[in-house]
Amino acid sequence: MKVRIIENAAKCNYCGDVIESTYRHDFQTCSCGRVSVDGGHDYLRRCYASKDAFTEMSVTEPVEEAEPK
């Protein structure tokens, strides 16, 4: 299932920063450098020191795909 990205954001569990990528290739990093987000409304990309370093804050909604003819 495809999704439409409404907000591409994450919260760093170390420094508490909420970072958001608002457009394609808008690579944002929290102040402690442990978490980054990228992709804006085109894709969700996360870079992190460990899987427990961030809390996902993105907002998405499902998009119905057209049935093949």
What is the model's pLDDT at position 65?
79
Q: How many angstroms separate the most distant Cα atoms in the chain? A: 51
Give the burial string for 12-47 (b: 16+ CB within 10 Å, else e): bebeebebebeeeeeebebeeebbbbbbbbeebebe
For residue 53, the model assigns a pLDDT of 97
Q: For residue 37, what pLDDT is reported?
A: 98
pTM of the complete model: 0.85
Note the pLDDT of residue 67: 75
Per-residue confidence in pLDDT tens, the chain, 69 aa: 799 999 999 999 999 999 999 999 999 999 999 999 999 999 999 999 999 999 999 999 999 877 777
